[in-house]
Amino acid sequence: MQEYESLRGSTGREIWYRPPRYEAHRLFPGTPPRVRIASGLYQIQNICLGGVATTTRDTEEEFEVGQTLPITIQQSGIPIFESTASVCRVEKSIFGSKTAFKFVDSFIDFDELLNRNLRAQIATRTPNPKTADLVPHDYRVLCADVLKLLRGYDSILAPDKSRDFVGRVDDNAAFDACVDLLIEHWRSLWLTGNDIVRTVMDDHDRREATKEFTELVLTPEMRRGAIWDRSYAKPLGYPGDFEIMNQVYDWNRVGGRAYEMLVHRIGLEVAECIKTRMEVVLGHVAAVAERDQNDRPARILSLGSGPAREVELYLTSSAAENGRADFTLIDQERRALRYAHEKTYPSIIRLGGRHSVRALNISFTDVLRGISAMSSLPEQDLIYSVGLLDYLTDRRAAGLAKRLYDMLAPGGMLIIGNMNETPLSNLWPMEFITDWTLYYRDEATMLAWADGLQAARSWTTTDPTGRVRLLHVLKRGGR
């Protein structure tokens, strides 16, 4: 038992007690409620006794600090909490806007909120005539077909007590027996899903109703696979975090049972382009690092580096023994940079100073505004950003492309990746199953970003899957 004299209070800013904030994906597992403000619908990031923080993908949305307005927390269109709230803070990033609200005339009773949320979810099990016609009939059939496919495998692979006398079926053997046929069927359904959802993308009400239907009917089953679960939950507060990248790069069987491994595996099938685009970039990194740069190491910059697995792979290859490069990794996630540093540092030591890796922890918003330390870097021989511009409007993407191009040394190369507009794009699985919104672009759109740069040459290629398009811009000068 502790004595009173041994009890310690808080120090610094922590002496001011603040009520605990609860992350939405933990407080509301499954389908979190959303916040309705005027005609807009916003995701809840976290919530506390006296306020709520929301996020939206619409980076053009404007709220002003001090503004007071009515807000409603609703589950599947049913109000479960209402209050007037004032805007306390607004933060903008490439992933959208985060707004913190303080309730003016009410507060959260969490027991009541959770009960109302549950009752609203139960109520939505009865078809709502107001939204029933907004979800295309063929889309409902598609979701039923996906569930039939997956649950068919689940029923075959489920533990069966009658098998006890001969032992348990080996999960890895079961996985091997199922995976090829499952992927073949999954790709066919994926293609159909893309065809259907393209018909609702330009209709806000139909798109949101179809997404809500997906998250209620299909997403819970898909979340039995690890990569689907993390992609939907977004535990770091934004989509596509470095741990998801690592899941794709590692390509491991993840899950306690063969069925969970299989659902994870079809998620990897969708995300395969993340790995193949990295491998394309790896080839460029090796080529530039081995090129003579007037008695200095090649300068290579990665914007939105994540775990920087291409740098790790290059430095552990035999090619690194003949090249020289100074790598600059820029990311807004410190954990990603720490991972990259820990993985590359042993090779830096082993290679005896031929290469260096430095990391800059800069918000992407500051990069877009041109107010980051990135502007003080020396001219670079290769700059690449293959997962960041998917989140930007065309105007902002073109502006960032120019800023990066201006940082190139004469003869330097800029490589920008973006999800490709193609029949088997990631649109349906990412946007509708995991609520992961990206801009999908074609060749003409990306080539337009190079207009006015007076480049020696600009062109596009695709990764081996065809689902990522890469814009290459070569700067004039050099050798």
Instruction: Please list, in sequence order, all residues whose beta carbon lies within 8 angstroms of the beta carbon of residue 100, skipping any fewer than 6 positions away.
Output: 51, 52, 53, 87, 88, 89, 90
pLDDT at 330 over 90: yes
Q: Delimit the domains of the chain by residue range.
A: 12-123, 130-270, 272-474
**DSSP state at residue 109:** -
With beta carbons less than 8 A apart as the criterion, state whether 240 and 266 touch. no
Mean pLDDT of 166-188: 90
- pLDDT (0 to 100) of residue 152: 96
On the question of pLDDT at 479 being above 50, the answer is yes
> Could you tell me what percent of the chain has a pLDDT over 90?
71
Helix (H, G, I), strand (E, B) or coil at 40: strand
Residue given tokens 């649109």 in the structure block: 427
Which one, of 188, 190, 182, 180, lies nearest residue 152 by Cα? 182
How far is 158 from 156, CA to CA, in rounded Å? 6
pLDDT of residue 163: 53
Average the pLDDT over 80-99 and give the result: 85
Query: What is the pLDDT at residue 162?
Result: 46
Range scoring the smallest mean pLDDT among 15-19, 183-187, 451-455: 15-19
* 368-378 tens-digit pLDDT: 888 778 889 99
The residue whose two tokens read 């808080």 is: 10
**Are the C-beta atoms of residues 162 and 216 closer than 8 Å to each other?**
no
Mean pLDDT for the chain overall = 91
**CATH fold for the domain made of 272-474:** Rossmann fold (3.40.50)
Amino acid letter, residue 152:
G
pLDDT of residue 161: 47
Of the two residues 97 and 275, the one the predictor is more confident about is 275
Which pLDDT does position 9 carry in this prediction? 61
- Provide the β-strand partners of residue 42: 35
- Give the CATH number of domain 12-123: 2.40.10.220
DSSP notation for 264-322: HHHHHHHHHHHHHHHHHHHHHHHHHHTS--SSS-EEEEEET-TT-HHHHHHHTSGGGGT
pLDDT digits (tens, 9 = 90+) for 331-369: 999 999 999 999 999 999 999 999 999 999 998 888 888
pLDDT of 438 above 60: yes
Question: pLDDT-derived band of residue 2, with 50, 70 and 90 as boundaries?
Answer: low
CA dist list (Å): 407 to 93, 233, 304, 402:
22, 36, 16, 9
Tell me the β-bridge partners of 101.
Answer: 52, 87
Backbone torsion region of residue 165, taken as left when φ is above 0, otherwise alpha when ψ lies between -120 and 50, otherwise beta: alpha
Mean pLDDT of 374-402: 94
**pLDDT for 102:** 94
119-144 pLDDT, tens per residue?
988 887 665 666 678 999 999 999 99
**For 135, which DSSP code?**
S
Mean pLDDT, to the nearest integer, of 97-112?
A: 91
CA 398 to chain centre: 21
Average pLDDT over residues 442-463: 96
Q: How many angstroms separate the Cα of 179 from the Cα of each of 230, 265, 269, 298?
A: 21, 8, 11, 43
CB 462 within 8 A of CB 411: no
Residues contacting 359, CB < 8 A, separation 6+: 305, 328, 329, 330, 331, 337, 340, 341
pTM score over 0.85: no
Confidence of residue 5 (pLDDT cuts 50, 70, 90): low
Around Cβ 434, how many Cβ atoms within 10 Å?
Answer: 26
**Which stretch of 13-22, 318-327, 380-389, 434-443 has the lowest confidence by average pLDDT?**
13-22
Q: Considering only residues 276 and 477, tell me which one the structure prediction assigns the higher pLDDT.
A: 276
